[in-house]
Structures are given as structure tokens and as C-alpha cells.
Amino acid sequence: MKKLSILKEQLAAGAYEQRLCRLYCCGTVQAAAHAARYAAVLDGLDATFGPHAEAALFSAPVRTEIGGNPTDHQRGRVLAGSVNIDMIAAVAETGCGELRGQSEGYDLWVPPLADLEKKPAEENTTMALLRGTCAAFVQRGAKLTGLDVYVASNVPKGSGVSSSAAFEVLIGTILNELFMGDAKVSAIEIAQIGQWAENVYFGKPCGLMDQMASSVGNIITIDFADKDHPAVTPVAVDFAKAGLALCILDSGADHADLTDEYAAIPADCCAVAAVCGGKVLREVPFADFLANVPACRKACGDRAVLRAFHFYADNDRVPQQVEALRANDFETFLRLVTESGNSSWELLQNVIPAGYKEHQDVAVALAVAKQALGGRGAVRVHGGGFAGTIQAFVPLDMLDAFRAETEAVLGEGKCHVLSIRPEGGVQL
């Protein structure tokens, strides 16, 4: 914690300029704008909860999934990275016995720290994530005395880069830094806590990739074969030096009311694994799955079988992508991205929600992006699919034209050009 007045003076004087340039992959002009963001959350903290003598500043980035779509829920391999848009927070310790908080533009949340049991009525709410995250840290020995937290975000609406995971990592990083002392947990465990809160308290059966990419930072490949001790390995790559821009395109479709579609993917995969004698597909050798395809079709249906085929193929593609990136073989990398996207559409079937005819937003976005790329670069569905965004690797020499052509159909501001952020959840 620092005196709030000193924090503001340092931000205004450029004391954090180099730090901000690194976090946001930007120049000094843009760093000044980010310093103003942090000064604004300090103002928001005092305006919302009253004056504070001391405060601290935190940031957690959102993520982009690069390979493995999605394979983490079957204990597979993924390739992902944190990007240079984030959630930030100004925080003050209070000793009031509550975690009083507000996200800019939203209602207050005030979970009492003396009651951290799961509340079924809170499922699918911010309160569930907060209560679950706090409970996990108490289980690890944290003595939570009370906080005021003011959160702001520059994550574009509909960008599909998992703002929920960034929020979980942000709160986890705050609790870890302020209440764990010498017993601080790792970035990996912060991610696991976020996933646990989302699974158990929020009620969403998500995998671990989103939280892990946000918490650890940079580009990483993760092997979830040992779910309690996932193997995390950094992958050094600079897409800009390779002449590529990483773009996320908002299809305009809303994730609301699609929880059943997302939940059906791991459920289908687990059902196939069960027929083959495993709990998840990673426990079932591909040869055993092939031998059991007739039984799986009968017990689980053809969609589940096709989704299993996707898992095995995309799980194998991830180490191939990593090898290509490390060898600076971007032609192979882009081919594998394209293959993954085709497999997601044809086998995983996470582009068009079941029964949708007039609204097939992600499919249209993919068609428009492929047309704009003209056979160059690569494009694929991003994240869980069905709604939200697609991902494109665009040659820099055609970036302006690509953005103009895709936004002419999808709408102005729907193409977001991102950079890989070198750090995950941090205290500024």
C-alpha cells in the first residue's frame, strides 16, 4: 500500500511510464493515457467509498486462445496468451469485514467475509465469483479483514477474450498480495482458484485455460494431463516481427442463453470417454476410441463422436504449433490454425448454435474474414464459439484493408488489433 496522494503524483509525473509501456505494449503517449486510467480508478475508489489514506493498484489481462479449441476440459493441451487489454483496480484495506466493491458502471457488490458458503441463488452472478474466490483463499490460510475495491475495464464489449477469467484473476491477485504474506500462492494456483470459483460457486463448467493465460501471462503452452499440476511452458514469439497482426473480430452475437451449448461440449466428450473406460478423453488412447466408435455412436450419438475426433486432432496440433513457432515457421503455424478452425466448425460444431437459422453470426464473420484475407493469413473461431468472436492472423501489409472490409459488414470498431502482454495478473 502507498499513500493515495503519492500514487496520484507518481502517475502524473510519469514514474510508471516504463512499467505501463511494458504491460500495454505501447509507446509513451499511450502510457500516459493508461496512467490516467489508473488515476481515474483511484478517484473512483474515493468517490464510491469515501476517502482513503492508502491504496494499491492492480491489473489482470484478458486472454486469447491460439491453439486447442477447446481441449482443456478434457485435460488436453492448449496454446494461449495474455493480451494488452485488461481489468484494473484501486484497492484499500478497511478492516470492515466486507469486500465492498464496484465495477465501473455496475452495481455495488458487498459479500460479507464471515459468510463465504456457496449460495445457490447467486449462481451466474459476480457475487458468486467473489464469494468463491474469498472462500478459496480462506481455505489456504488468508485472514480477510476487509477491502474496498473499485474496478474498471478497457475490454471491448463482445470481444470474447474472457473478461470473467480476468476478473477472477484480478481478485485473486489482490487477495494473494494483501492477505497471504509469506504464504503467497503461485500464478498457477490463482488460476485454479478462479476456475474452482467459477465451477462451484458460479455454476459454469469451464476449463482452466482462460484463467491460466490471464494469471501467468505472455504466450504459454499448457498440458493439463495432470490436472492438479498442469505443465506450463513459455513460448517466445513476436507476431509483429513475423509480419502478422493478431486480430479479434466481434461477430455481434451475444453469449446469453447459450450456457447449455457450452456445457454440452465437455458433457459429450466425457460421455464418449466413459464408454471407452475413462473419465476424460485424455485418459483414452486414440486407438481405443477408434475401436469403440460403434459403441460410442450408439450410447452417445454422432455429435459426441465427432467432437471426440476434434479433441484428438486439436490436442495433437498444439505441440505442432509450438514447434512451428519456435522454428519461426509461420507458414506451418498458419496452416495449423486453419486446420484447427475447420475442425472446430466441422467436428466440434461450435460455430452455429443448434437450431439457429436466421442468426449465424460467427459463421458470417468467418466467411467475411476469409474473403478479406484472400487465402493469406489464417482465421478460426475463437474460444468457446457459438457467439462472440473469431480470431485472425493478418499480414501487416493488408491490415488496413482487412479491417475496412470486415468492419463494412460486421460494424465499425468490430476488429480489434491486439498485442501479447508479457505479464499476467500483477500489482502495479
pLDDT band at 384 (very low <50, low <70, confident <90, very high): confident
pLDDT band at 250 (very low <50, low <70, confident <90, very high): very high
Strands 77-93 and 54-67: antiparallel
**Looking at the domain assignment, is residue 247 inside a domain?**
no
pLDDT at res. 208: 83
pLDDT at 378 over 80: yes
**Looking at the domain assignment, is residue 318 inside a domain?**
no
Over the stretch 189-198, which tens digit does the pLDDT of each residue have?
A: 999 999 999 9
In angstroms, the CA 91 to CA 46 distance is 10
Instruction: Give the domain range for residue 59.
Output: 2-234
**Looking at the domain assignment, is residue 103 inside a domain?**
yes
CATH number of the domain within which 183 lies = 3.30.230.10
**Looking at the domain assignment, is residue 117 inside a domain?**
yes
pLDDT band at 207 (very low <50, low <70, confident <90, very high): confident
Over the stretch 54-78, which tens digit does the pLDDT of each residue have?
A: 999 999 999 999 999 889 889 999 9
pLDDT at res. 159: 58
Question: Using H for helix, E for strand and C for coil, what is the string for the chain?
Answer: CEEHHHHHHHHHHCCCHHHHHHHHCCCHHHHHHHHHHHHHHHHHHHHHHCCCCEEEEEEEEEEEEEECCCCHHHCCEEEEEEEEEEEEEEEEECCCCEEEEEECCCCEECCECCCCCCCHHHCCCHHHHHHHHHHHHHHCCCCCCCEEEEEEECCCCCCCCCHHHHHHHHHHHHHHHHHCHHHCCCHHHHHHHHHHHHHHHHCCCCCCHHHHHHHHCCEEEEECCCCCCCEEEECCCCCCCCCEEEEEEECCCCCCCCHHHHHHHHHHHHHHHHHCCCCCHHHCCHHHHHHCHHHHHHHHCHHHHHHHHHHHHHHHHHHHHHHHHHCCCHHHHHHHHHHHHHHHHHHHCCCCCCCCCCCCHHHHHHHHHHHHHCCCCEEEECCCCCCCEEEEEEEHHHHHHHHHHHHHHHCCCCEEEECECCCCCEEC
Over the stretch 129-148, which tens digit does the pLDDT of each residue have?
A: 999 999 999 999 999 999 99
**Looking at the domain assignment, is residue 362 inside a domain?**
no
pLDDT at res. 210: 87
pLDDT band at 385 (very low <50, low <70, confident <90, very high): confident
Task: Return the exposure string of 215-235: e unless at least 16 CB atoms fall within 10 Å of the residue's CB, then b.
Answer: bbbbbbbbbbeeeeebebeeb
**Looking at the domain assignment, is residue 168 inside a domain?**
yes
How many domains are contained in the chain?
1
pLDDT at res. 158: 57
pLDDT band at 174 (very low <50, low <70, confident <90, very high): very high
- Please give the mean pLDDT across all residues of the chain: 93
Strands 219-223 and 147-153: unpaired
**Looking at the domain assignment, is residue 288 inside a domain?**
no
pLDDT at 297 over 90: yes
Cβ atoms < 10 Å from Cβ of 419: 17
pLDDT at res. 36: 96
pLDDT at 302 over 90: yes
pLDDT at res. 160: 65
Interior CA angle at 205 toward 227 and 357, to 5°?
130
In angstroms, the CA 163 to CA 85 distance is 10
Give 292's strand partners.
none
In angstroms, the CA 147 to CA 45 distance is 11
pLDDT at res. 252: 85
Over the stretch 315-360, which tens digit does the pLDDT of each residue have?
A: 999 999 999 999 999 999 999 999 999 999 999 999 998 888 989 9
Q: What is the pTM of this model?
A: 0.86
pLDDT band at 110 (very low <50, low <70, confident <90, very high): confident
**Looking at the domain assignment, is residue 391 inside a domain?**
no
pLDDT at res. 256: 65
pLDDT band at 403 (very low <50, low <70, confident <90, very high): very high
